[in-house]
């Protein structure tokens, strides 16, 4: 069964009709499924899967073949190229053909690594492309939300899950079509086969054992402020190597960097936070027990990452005018998430509690006072059953409504 994704309406919008649609995101986030649904009603579609070794090798060996093939097409109106980073040179041919035949072919392209595209100086088709980024399943795709809601079209929504399941197994869309007893195996296979193989294929890690050690520690510390020196010392590598490892996770869309809030008037800590894109993947990489006991052991940390991941992708869907950051001063004041919009700045605190106390919002109040010209409301995301007004400017919202 196909479940509605927010990006579907963006990709199929009239303003994107004559553009090359480039969809980037982590593997198994649903890119191919989404595009196949978008082109399901189109006739005469050519689907090129560069994950297929035989298909990929053909274009690698003879760089002129792709252009020769598409120029020979007479009855194809849509071309979908999956995993373009496998042969990034094809983008040059797409541009050449597109410029000659703007109305002839509708191009849909996916990719799960920006690193190879950047390393090969790949042509990202400036002025010809509409770029989209894919997320795992979001709460805002399943139900109404208070902070940056997503305007979803009619259609089947992903089934709602228990919070404990989300915190333990994450939100990869493939899990929603599987029995629960297969989730652990699916996540383990993802980390063992995809992550290691994909990282190896990037040819940018000299010592794989050091990188795998980094992956485990980075997963354990996911959601925390990054301390490059400490991590480098633990692994036994240079600080620059650790920074390169983090950049590799970002380029393959496995890691999400949350920068420090840049418009503060107090002395602030400028180190970013770093979160892995899915909690299930994070928990497997951290070699943690994959059951609900994990939530009992580390509920607050898991819950905080869940909200950060959700807000990160909502900002990404809203576009470059929206950004997620974090705020911490050297005097100890800290706000977990700051949603920056063109109109206002919204501080968000994240607590596992179902009985919010005035002390839970003291840093939100500090932020509102310091940034009174740009911040007028704040939220405490927690486990209350209904929204509560905690002060004139601060509202506590349930985890399934924020």
Does residue 242 belong to any structural domain of this protein?
A: no
Amino acid 196: pLDDT: 67
Amino acid 201: pLDDT: 66
Does residue 257 belong to any structural domain of this protein?
A: no
- What is the total count of domains within the chain? 1
Amino acid 171: pLDDT: 97
Taking alpha carbons only, the member of 77, 109, 113 closest to residue 93 is 109
pLDDT mean across residues, the chain:
90
Going by pLDDT thresholds of 50, 70 and 90, the confidence category of residue 34 is very high
Q: What backbone phi and psi angles, to 5 degrees, belong to 141?
A: -90, -10
Does residue 190 belong to any structural domain of this protein?
A: no
Residue range 163-188: average pLDDT?
95
- Pairwise pLDDT comparison (180 vs 92), residue with the higher score: 180
Does residue 187 belong to any structural domain of this protein?
A: no
Going by pLDDT thresholds of 50, 70 and 90, the confidence category of residue 92 is confident
Angle of the 228-235 helix axis to the 208-220 helix axis, nearest 10: 130
Structural domain boundaries, residue 78: 7-134
Q: What is the pLDDT of residues 324-363, one digit of tens each?
A: 999 998 888 899 999 999 999 999 999 999 999 999 999 9
Whole-Å CA distances, 333 to 263, 336, 338, 360 = 15, 10, 13, 12
Does residue 11 belong to any structural domain of this protein?
A: yes
Residue range 282-290: average pLDDT?
95
Does residue 105 belong to any structural domain of this protein?
A: yes
Angle of the 228-235 helix axis to the 239-251 helix axis, nearest 10: 100
Alpha carbon distance, N-terminus to C-terminus of the chain: 27
Which of 165-179, 215-229, 267-281 has the least mean pLDDT? 267-281
d(CA 287, CA 378): 35
* 269 has a pLDDT exceeding 80: no
* 227 has a pLDDT exceeding 80: yes
Q: What is the pLDDT of residues 113-139, one digit of tens each?
A: 887 776 654 556 667 888 899 999 999
Q: Are 32 and 2 in contact (CB under 8 A)?
A: no
* 15 has a pLDDT exceeding 90: no
Does residue 51 belong to any structural domain of this protein?
A: yes
- CATH number (domain holding residue 43): 3.40.50.300
Does residue 210 belong to any structural domain of this protein?
A: no
d(CA 374, CA 146): 19
């Amino acid at each position: 069964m196909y479940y509605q994704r927010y990006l579907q309406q963006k990709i199929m919008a009239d303003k994107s009709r004559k553009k090359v649609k480039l969809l980037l995101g982590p593997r198994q986030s649903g890119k191919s499924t989404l595009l196949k649904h978008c082109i399901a009603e189109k006739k005469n579609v050519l689907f090129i899967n560069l994950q297929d070794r035989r298909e990929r090798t053909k274009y690698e060996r003879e760089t002129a073949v792709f252009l020769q093939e598409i120029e020979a097409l007479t009855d194809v109106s849509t071309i979908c190229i999956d995993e373009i980073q496998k042969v990034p040179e094809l983008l040059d041919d797409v541009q050449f053909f597109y410029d000659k035949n703007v109305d002839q072919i509708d191009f849909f392209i996916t990719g799960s690594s920006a690193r190879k595209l950047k390393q090969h100086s790949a042509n990202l088709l400036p002025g010809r492309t509409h770029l989209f980024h894919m997320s795992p399943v979001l709460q805002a795709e399943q139900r109404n939300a208070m902070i940056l809601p997503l305007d979803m079209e009619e259609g089947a929504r992903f089934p709602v899950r228990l919070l404990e399941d989300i915190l333990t197994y994450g939100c990869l869309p493939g899990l929603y079509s599987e029995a629960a007893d297969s989730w652990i195996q699916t996540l383990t296979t993802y980390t063992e086969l995809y992550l290691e193989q994909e990282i190896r294929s990037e040819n940018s890690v000299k010592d794989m054992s050091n990188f795998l050690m980094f992956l485990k520690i980075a997963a354990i510390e996911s959601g925390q402020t990054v301390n490059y020196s400490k991590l480098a010392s633990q692994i036994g590598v240079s600080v620059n190597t650790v920074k390169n490892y983090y950049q590799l996770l970002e380029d393959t869309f496995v890691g999400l960097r949350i920068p420090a809030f840049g418009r503060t008037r107090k002395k602030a800590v400028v180190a970013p936070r770093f979160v892995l894109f899915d909690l299930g993947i994070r928990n497997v990489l951290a070699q943690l027990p994959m059951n609900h006991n994990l939530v009992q052991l580390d509920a607050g940390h898991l819950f905080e990452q869940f909200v950060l991941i959700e807000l990160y992708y909502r900002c990404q869907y809203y576009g470059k005018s929206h950004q997620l950051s974090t705020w911490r001063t050297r005097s100890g004041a800290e706000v977990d998430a700051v949603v920056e919009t063109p109109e206002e700045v919204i501080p968000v605190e994240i607590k596992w509690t179902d009985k919010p106390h005035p002390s839970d919002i003291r840093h939100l109040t500090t932020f509102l006072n310091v940034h009174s010209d740009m911040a007028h409301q704040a939220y405490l995301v927690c486990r209350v059953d209904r929204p509560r007004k905690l002060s004139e400017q601060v509202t506590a919202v349930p985890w399934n409504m924020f």
